Amino acid sequence: AQKITQTQPGMFVQEKEAVTLDCTYDTSDPSYGLFWYKQPSSGEMIFLIYQGSYDQQNATEGRYSLNFQKARKSANLVISASQLGDSAMYFCAMRRNAGNNRKLIWGLGTSLAVNP
């Protein structure tokens, strides 16, 4: 069965430092996609970054990068130079690229607090 695991319920980081949020996944599909979303206290889920299973390079999007280790089935989110506005819940999600490819499988999230 496909599954996303986020083992860190909460993380703290000092402003301006980098932080890594862990995500491991389980799938037997050869082709899949991995996503990270941010959910501030306001509630809206914000799409941050995407990595395809066949992408050769790790995805980057501004201060966000995805450390994709396919053999380890991990897709960790790295936030560089943390800002106070990065305090939020972060969710990792996976999509199958075959068959029913519309639905996402979600992790339970990691709460990140950025300290001034």
Nearer to another protein, 59 or 82 (CB): 59
13-35 burial code (b ≥16 CB/10 A, e <16): beeeeebebbbbbebeeeebbbb
Nearer to another protein, 65 or 109 (CB): 109
Nearest to 24 by CA among 101, 92, 97: 92
Calpha distance 34→32 (Å, rounded): 7
Query: 16: Cβ–Cβ under 8 A, 6 or more apart, which residues?
Result: 81, 82, 83
- Kindly state the smallest distance separating residue 47's Cβ from another protein, in Å: 5
- Kindly state the smallest distance separating residue 37's Cβ from another protein, in Å: 8
* # of chain residues touching another protein (CB under 8 A): 20
Q: Among residue numbers 45 through 104, which ones bind another protein (CB under 8 A)?
A: 45-47, 50, 91, 95, 101-104
Nearer to another protein, 12 or 47 (CB): 47
Q: Note whether 41 binds another protein by CB under 8 A.
A: no
